[in-house]
Amino acid sequence: MLKKGGLILFQGDSITDAGRKRRKSEDLGKGYSLMIKKILDKKRPEANYRYLNRGISGDRARDLLDRWDKDCIALQPDTVSILIGVNDTWRRYTGNDPISHELFENQVETLIESTLEQTRANLILLNPFLLDINEQVSSMREDLIHKQESIRQLAKKYNQTFIDFDAAFKTASSNQGPDFYAADGVHPTKAGYELMADLWVEKVLN
């Protein structure tokens, strides 16, 4: 799946952004993007993969659409990893700004079709997740579950890679507790990012 010398582009919201320095184009932040780079560079140093992170904190699917030409198509990546959806759910509860499941799915599908039509990239669609640290966060699953299903079905429809982070966190949390992986239920701790990076590499290389 990963092309030798190819460009891997990470896209999404704050979970992908991970504090990256916007003025430095190649800065990957401190999250799973950076950890994936370290793992791949160690496992396959001869591959000379290139990496860019264009995650932006607070983004929803519609925000990705607004900047997709500049932050994806123009870069002509070989692999595009997308994690989006939690803010589309979160704003319903914290800002009274709901996004219908149908609209969300249409927006993500537009991203997928645009990328497949205008680049030669493979897509890696990542399941948005919540960790059940309390009832307030867990209650948001009634909305997120539909957006998760949209991502899953779109990956299947377009024959692209799907990685289920939500299921992985559920399994891991049964041993350590959810706050070990994301203290607020959304933003991963170092351990949470490590879990994401390990699963991403395992899925993509196998």
Tens-place pLDDT, residues 83-94? 999 999 999 998
What pLDDT score was predicted for residue 94?
A: 87
What pLDDT score was predicted for residue 82?
A: 98
Q: Pick the catalytic residue: 41, 69, 97, 184?
A: 184
Cα–Cα distance measured from residue 29 to residue 53, given in angstroms and rounded to the nearest whole number: 8
The mean pLDDT value for 181-197 works out to 97
187 a catalytic residue: yes
φ/ψ of 98, rounded to 5, equals: -75, 150
Superfamily of domain 7-205: SGNH hydrolase (3.40.50.1110)
The mean pLDDT value for 29-52 works out to 98
What pLDDT score was predicted for residue 163?
A: 98
What pLDDT score was predicted for residue 117?
A: 98
What pLDDT score was predicted for residue 75?
A: 98
138 a catalytic residue: no
What pLDDT score was predicted for residue 93?
A: 92
The mean pLDDT value for 124-137 works out to 97
What pLDDT score was predicted for residue 206?
A: 86
Q: Pick the catalytic residue: 14, 33, 81, 150?
A: 14
20 token code pair = 């990256």
Residue 95 confidence (pLDDT) above 90: no
Cα–Cα distance measured from residue 57 to residue 122, given in angstroms and rounded to the nearest whole number: 24
The one-letter code for the residue type at 103 is: L
Inter-CA distances, 8 with 111, 152, 195, Å: 16, 21, 19
What pLDDT score was predicted for residue 1?
A: 81
What pLDDT score was predicted for residue 136?
A: 94
Q: Pick the catalytic residue: 164, 179, 187, 198?
A: 187
The one-letter code for the residue type at 48 is: N
